[in-house]
Chains A and B, each alone.
Chain A
Amino acid sequence: MSQAIAARMAVKLHRRVCLVMTEDAVLAEELLARKKLAGEVLGRLSERALLIRPGRIEAVLDELIKMGHTPQVIGK
């Protein structure tokens, strides 16, 4: 039993995270260049992943749509 537990991979969960994933790094740069969007971005986890301020996802969606994007929204 203890061996089975030890065999399981240790992980840390980050729950209820607001995240924007882009198709490529250039698109992420394009989003960060938009002042209103950049203000809602807490950080860039990777080239394509932007961490959004908690509770600000609606504002981000509005801004993305204003920019002419049609983002796929998961977990509405």
Chain B
Amino acid sequence: MALDGYSENLRRSVAGAILKPRNPIPLEEVTERILAALANPPVVDRRIAEQSAPGRAALAILGQSRQPIWKVGHLLTMLAALGSTEGFAPIQSLLDAGLLFPVRGFESSPLAGFQLWFGQEPRLNAEVFTLPGIAERAKGDPLGLPNLAISDGPPKSIVPRLADALEWPLRLAAVGQLVADGAMRTTQTRALFKRDLQRLQTHELLAAAPADHIVVLPDIGVLTLFWALGTEQLAVVDGELTLPKVARGPANRPLADELVTLLAALSTLEAWDPLLGYRVIENQLSALPSSAILLLLLLAAAPAGDWCQAAQLAAWLWEHHPAWQNGLTAEAQQQRGTPWVESLLLGVFYPLGIVEVIEREGRLIRLSPFGRSLFAGGAKVPDTPAFLQTLMVQPNAEIIAYRQGLTPTLIARLSRFARWRSLGPACTLELTAEQTYRGLESGLTLAGMVQTLNQHGVRPVHAAVMDLLQRWADKRERITVYSSATLVEFLSPADLDVAISRGMIAVRITDRIGLCADGADPDYKNLRLIGNRDYEAKPTKCIAVDDDGVTLNLDPGQTDLLLEAEIGRLAEPIPSDGNSVRRFRLTPESLRRAAQSGFKLDDLDVWFAARTGAVLPAAGRMFLLGPTAPSSLATKRLVLQVPNPEIADGLMQWPTTKDCIEDRLGPTAFAIEESKLPALREILESLAVKVEFA
């Protein structure tokens, strides 16, 4: 896809770098050959080896972070921290070699060169990505990070403190429920609305510190929100953070995969800081993503079993990270950033189960076995067998979930139909009407919910809870909303009866109209289509108005349900005379009723224009406007009728005759004041215009 956006020359150039062909490659084969080469590990290894040390380091970071997409600014920052002084050159070289690709929108113009692209994008916020195969091959490349482990570690008999790694998956589930209550709105500068920020800061579950915590994080709810966004458990729709329409990933994910997804999303956490909490960063880079990965890689550089101190890790960042110091608070700067590092490692990574801690003469930190399996080539940690029976459903519809039996799959499933109330060693959830409804709307069934509770419960679901769930589920059956249904209209009630008896139609709406159970199109095998109307399209013209201006003739092939619903409010049906055409008549009463129900003349004009092709007929306008018009006047008047319009126009224009005319009644007729008739007659005779008196 990215290659499709390259110009022909650029694509050939990248192909040349990857394939090193002896003969020219036909253009139509270039993309295919590049992708084939990038799927070939020996070729990828050779091309990676040809890169400079900073280039290889950039790919290694992409691999270690488990995140294939990074902002160029963050990559350059990390390379600078690792000692690179070459600026954009390593990234340019990787792009040229087809080992990195620019993230671009759907621009119409082909990309002619990477320097040009980098110049056009907001530079450091421009993003690049690599393919999983390349990242995997480059992951093991040494980064030259120092061993910061302390030499005199604690005795091995001391058991380190290690979290169960469920805290963040649980919090993400809770933030999903909060967002389901109401989307989080953002301003144009991508800042959270104040009210939504307060929702996060005062949420009893999300604002509270984890049960197993070493440090307290600021704005932990905001961190959870943006982490959920980074892992695509939330999506941005029209400036609002909301639940995605399609749920992310497969439902059955091992905990390790869930944690890797969270780690990969570290690169997206720009709006939160371990010491300052929530902060809006507009078109700038946060030091968090780059520092977080560097800290994990520094811990990985320590030998297995050895411990590090936050102060030493902070000292390395202090000396090497080009932007980290500036973002620190004055107090943190006095301690060379140690509080920042402690807050991140102990507040974010400890609950994630990536690091383990010993509190002895200060805190000592190292990667956990799971952390080493990810970053230091350690042995894969086998999944801990979960206790199957971990839920206790109480008669008051509260669920106690013992943490050791929870898995990401169970957390996700429970989150769909039960509300998280507390997260501790034993978490509590509540079955509510609203959450049960959400569960059913998300595609769960009542039987499925009960099965989950029974399967993981220490005892069967209590009868009172079953009764509650059944009632809530039944309540949902009372109203069915079809958002986009296809109604099938038959010519006769008998036809509909036959269709229902054959199972073609599931729901009877009227005596002639029905619909399938899911509101979808019917099976056309036994049907012959005589009309087709789309209700999101403009209304069609389907009425012919007779010359009398009040009789409306409906075209049976073009009429629709909207018309059926509307026309009865404007006109009276005319009893059928055996003719198949249905007819209605506008009457003073029918239009008065329409006016009383809110129809104005403009509304009627729009409706008639859409349905008949012309505005409300004159007779209808009279019915509508007559009652509100001033009184009409009936008088006897003296009328002068001239032989043709030319004379009439002349009389109206010439000031001498104009003064004698009271009113022009038509093209050749005038009303004349009786007192002025002699004067007018005299003038006309002087013009040799004859006047006769009837």
B486 on interface, CB distance cutoff 8 Å = yes
Q: Which residue of B is nearest A14, CB measured?
A: B487
Question: How near does chain A come to B624, taking the closest CB pair, in angstroms?
Answer: 21
Which residues of chain B have C-beta atoms less than 8 A from A55's C-beta? Answer: 536
Inter-chain contact B485/A27, CB cutoff 8 Å: no
B197 on interface, CB distance cutoff 8 Å = no
Which residues of chain B have C-beta atoms less than 8 A from A20's C-beta? Answer: 479-482
Question: How near does chain B come to A10, taking the closest CB pair, in angstroms?
Answer: 5
Q: Which residue of B is nearest A41, CB measured?
A: B565
Q: Which residue of A is nearest B495, CB measured?
A: A9
Question: How near does chain A come to B411, taking the closest CB pair, in angstroms?
Answer: 24
Distance A53 CA – B222 CA, assembled complex (angstroms): 39
CB contact list, B286-307 vs A, under 8 A: none
B637 on interface, CB distance cutoff 8 Å = no
CB contact list, A6-47 vs B, under 8 A: 8-23, 27, 31, 42-46
B518 on interface, CB distance cutoff 8 Å = yes
Inter-chain contact A9/B527, CB cutoff 8 Å: yes
Which residues of chain B have C-beta atoms less than 8 A from A17's C-beta? Answer: 482, 484-487, 535, 561
Which residues of chain B have C-beta atoms less than 8 A from A64's C-beta? Answer: 479, 481
Question: How near does chain A come to B690, taking the closest CB pair, in angstroms?
Answer: 65
Distance A73 CA – B107 CA, assembled complex (angstroms): 38
Inter-chain contact A74/B486, CB cutoff 8 Å: no
Inter-chain contact B486/A27, CB cutoff 8 Å: no
Distance A18 CA – B486 CA, assembled complex (angstroms): 9
Q: Quick check: which of B123-131, B138-146, B469-477 contacts chain A, the rest being far away?
A: B469-477
Question: How near does chain B come to A2, taking the closest CB pair, in angstroms?
Answer: 12
Question: A14 contacts which of B527, B530, B535 (Cβ < 8 Å)?
Answer: B535
Inter-chain contact A22/B530, CB cutoff 8 Å: no
Distance A48 CA – B535 CA, assembled complex (angstroms): 20
Q: Contact flags (1/0) for B495-538 with A, using CB distance below 8 Å?
A: 10011000000010110010100111110001111111111100
Question: A13 contacts which of B488, B518, B519 (Cβ < 8 Å)?
Answer: B488
Inter-chain contact A11/B480, CB cutoff 8 Å: no
A43-B479 contact in complex given A13-B486, A19-B487, A75-B484, C-beta closer than 8 Å: no
Interface size class on chain A is 35 or more
Question: How near does chain B come to A56, taking the closest CB pair, in angstroms?
Answer: 10
A74-B479 contact in complex given A9-B498, A17-B535, C-beta closer than 8 Å: no
Which residues of chain B have C-beta atoms less than 8 A from A1's C-beta? Answer: none
Question: A71 contacts which of B433, B479, B510, B566 (Cβ < 8 Å)?
Answer: B479
Which residues of chain A have C-beta atoms less than 8 A from B527's C-beta? Answer: 8-11
Distance A38 CA – B481 CA, assembled complex (angstroms): 15
Inter-chain contact A14/B565, CB cutoff 8 Å: no
Q: Which residue of B is nearest A44, CB measured?
A: B565
Inter-chain contact B532/A73, CB cutoff 8 Å: no
Distance A8 CA – B472 CA, assembled complex (angstroms): 42
Distance A49 CA – B483 CA, assembled complex (angstroms): 13
CB contact list, B36-77 vs A, under 8 A: none
Which residues of chain A have C-beta atoms less than 8 A from B477's C-beta? Answer: 23, 72
Inter-chain contact B476/A12, CB cutoff 8 Å: no
Distance A18 CA – B534 CA, assembled complex (angstroms): 11
Inter-chain contact B534/A9, CB cutoff 8 Å: no
Inter-chain contact A70/B561, CB cutoff 8 Å: no
Question: How near does chain A come to B513, taking the closest CB pair, in angstroms?
Answer: 7
B562 on interface, CB distance cutoff 8 Å = yes
Q: Contact flags (1/0) for A52-76 with B, using CB distance below 8 Å?
A: 0011010011001000011111111
Inter-chain contact B518/A75, CB cutoff 8 Å: yes
Which residues of chain A have C-beta atoms less than 8 A from B475's C-beta? Answer: 69-70
Question: A73 contacts which of B483, B489, B522, B557 (Cβ < 8 Å)?
Answer: B483
Inter-chain contact B535/A60, CB cutoff 8 Å: no
Inter-chain contact B562/A51, CB cutoff 8 Å: yes
Inter-chain contact B481/A5, CB cutoff 8 Å: no
Inter-chain contact A12/B485, CB cutoff 8 Å: no
Which residues of chain B have C-beta atoms less than 8 A from A13's C-beta? Answer: 486-489, 521, 529, 531-533
Distance A57 CA – B513 CA, assembled complex (angstroms): 21
Q: Which residue of A is nearest B508, CB measured?
A: A46
B577 on interface, CB distance cutoff 8 Å = no
B491 on interface, CB distance cutoff 8 Å = yes
Distance A8 CA – B433 CA, assembled complex (angstroms): 46
Inter-chain contact B482/A70, CB cutoff 8 Å: no
B437 on interface, CB distance cutoff 8 Å = yes
B605 on interface, CB distance cutoff 8 Å = no
A72-B479 contact in complex given A11-B488, A55-B536, C-beta closer than 8 Å: yes
Inter-chain contact B485/A74, CB cutoff 8 Å: yes
Distance A15 CA – B489 CA, assembled complex (angstroms): 11
Question: A21 contacts which of B479, B484, B530 (Cβ < 8 Å)?
Answer: B479
Max chain B Cβ within 10 angstroms of own Cβ: one of A22, A61, A73: A73
Which residues of chain A have C-beta atoms less than 8 A from B562's C-beta? Answer: 42-43, 51
Inter-chain contact B528/A10, CB cutoff 8 Å: yes
Question: A15 contacts which of B434, B498, B532, B564 (Cβ < 8 Å)?
Answer: B532
B204 on interface, CB distance cutoff 8 Å = no
Inter-chain contact A71/B532, CB cutoff 8 Å: no
Distance A19 CA – B509 CA, assembled complex (angstroms): 10
Max chain B Cβ within 10 angstroms of own Cβ: one of A20, A27, A46, A51: A51
Max chain B Cβ within 10 angstroms of own Cβ: one of A19, A55, A69: A19
Which residues of chain A have C-beta atoms less than 8 A from B565's C-beta? Answer: 42-45, 51
Q: 30 pairs across A/B with beta carbons < 8 Å?
A: A8-B526, A9-B495, A10-B491, A11-B527, A12-B489, A12-B530, A13-B521, A13-B529, A13-B533, A15-B534, A16-B536, A17-B486, A18-B482, A18-B483, A19-B482, A19-B485, A19-B509, A20-B480, A21-B507, A23-B477, A43-B562, A44-B565, A45-B561, A46-B509, A57-B483, A70-B434, A70-B472, A70-B479, A73-B481, A75-B482
Q: Name A residues whose Cβ lies closer than 8 Å to a Cβ of B.
A: 5, 8-23, 27, 31, 42-46, 49, 51, 54-55, 57, 60-61, 64, 69-76
Q: Name B residues whose Cβ lies closer than 8 Å to a Cβ of A.
A: 433-434, 437, 440-441, 472, 475-491, 495, 498-499, 507, 509-510, 513, 515, 518-522, 526-536, 557, 560-562, 564-566, 568
**Known interface pairs A19-B509, A74-B485; 14 further A-B residue pairs with C-beta atoms within 8 A, sorted by A's residue number:** A9-B491, A11-B528, A11-B529, A13-B531, A15-B486, A18-B482, A21-B481, A21-B482, A22-B479, A31-B479, A54-B536, A57-B481, A71-B476, A71-B480
